Chain A
């Protein structure tokens, strides 16, 4: 058997490994190198400039604003999404009133799950076009239309949503939460299904109230899943490219009025494709990479707890 093992191993691994090295690993490594040059991307010439791109980057007000926006997303997005998803998951799995032994979801739980998860399968382009229509600045927009109908805003001065410097980033946050909650709801539901029912029954018999049940039983047993969700959402918060670049006003890759919704990814693309500053864009890529790495490590460290076996 042994003598035929190695040809088989090599035969199976060669294509995936070569493809992966050429298209993923090698570009990753090249980025670090290019970020130390003044390469434009078009010309063949480049000069080594050391860390100059990085020093420029941290004096670049647009980049700093973009970094700040990403950090804001990083705080708001995971907290809001996880809280909402946890609340829904609890309601749909164990929040119902016990007619038959006490532990079940509310009425119509299956229907809610299907509906809430749906935005997850819509492609980002559909989300973008959909919300451009929702956020339209006249009363042809759904949101303004609803608000005018409810008498919450003046029809002659509709809110400017994506064109309003103070609202534009929050509009993006809204879309991210709207589309993300369903996925995390299903994720938490799957984890809740794994919690033995008798634990809930015991709590019920001991007279635990619904809130107590959630805080003392559900949350501690779901902790690892919440951690995973946190890391995923943190990575998503560092991105937001597709929505910002297509929904917010801006000549190339969006960015909103006066860069008010700029994120690092949109600024990177603009520098690379529009301004022809490939070296500078690479330096941004490296910064995004380091922030993402640090985030993943830190959030996993901070939220470490005892593992609970059940």
Chain B
């Protein structure tokens, strides 16, 4: 890469004027110590790791075009005919349904997490009142506990909520949404708290003097100012909740025969994998995986810089 700025946004110092060629050879020779061997090794290792990541994924995609016999035969077989039959199979066997379930839950839970988390973090960061510290530490402490600690009572808590209203409870969208929100709050509040504290106060004060109410000042002044922080945490939460496995497995099981199957994509895919063993429809399984991977891949490649920046800034806080 000989450009002045490479894609990752790092500034590469431009050359100073003068004789560019003069001291360069010596300097380069000095820094390229360990010479070719070390370099070749390092580059080779980077390339190998990249191959280790790309190869299995490509292999899965190719496998969705094979027949069952081919998949059972050898890893190196090549699809005999390229048909999308397996994809239709996978779609019909519930992938579409799981996708929809996941979408419903994630839209609800991420929106609520961001809204409630931002509200709580803002009040805790900007307003003095008795009990402020206690509430803040309560939230932060929650980030340190493993979910397993709460799992058993949580199951029964959600079950009891279901007795109060049929909309909540086990195997209900709203029940799972509320649980996702509750377990995402500690981190969201912790992160946004420090973010709101770092924002300048002048704009907010000006709005208040102009007769803006507290609520309006929050939504119209503070939220736009905190946009970058909100995006970071938002991405963090989307990925975290998209990846959830333990909570849906515990709380989103069909309770009795007539229940609708509201599995998340993670659960559904694994159920499909288990049934595949009996039904031996491996192409459909691989096609299902390809379908599940594609949207993530597209979103990630489009927003990879924001995703990486969001995740790392969220972790480094």
Contacts and interface: CB of A to CB of B under 8 A. Distances in A.
Interface of A: 1, 4-6, 8-9, 11-13, 15-17, 19-20, 22-28, 30-31, 34, 41, 87-88, 91-93, 95-126, 128-134, 136, 138-142, 144-146, 149, 178, 181-183, 186-187, 189-191, 193, 197, 201, 204, 207, 209-211, 225, 228, 232, 235, 238-239, 241-242, 246, 264-265, 268-269, 272-273, 278, 281-282, 284-286, 288-289, 292-293, 296
Interface in B213-241: 213-215, 218, 239
B15 interface: yes
Secondary structure at chain B's binding surface: helix, strand, loop or mixed?
helix
A20 B182 contact: yes
B266 A98 contact: no
Contacts of A141: 75
Contacts of B127: 5, 9
A109 B6 contact: yes
Contact of A130 (B32, B60, B138, B304): B60
B84 interface: no
Given A106-B43, A235-B146, A285-B151, A197 B13 contact: yes
B293 interface: yes
B311 interface: yes
Indicate the size class of the contact surface on chain B.
35 or more
B20 to A, nearest CB: 10
Given A23-B178, A105-B6, A16 B119 contact: yes
Contact of A278 (B152, B178, B307, B308): B152
Contacts, number: 320
B214 A288 contact: no
Contact of A20 (B56, B139, B152): B139
B263 to A, nearest CB: 10
B50 A112 contact: yes
A8 B126 CA distance: 12
A228 to B, nearest CB: 6
Given A133-B60, A190-B313, A31 B10 contact: no
Pick the 5 closest A-B CB pairs, nearest first: A145-B75, A125-B266, A23-B182, A110-B7, A27-B150
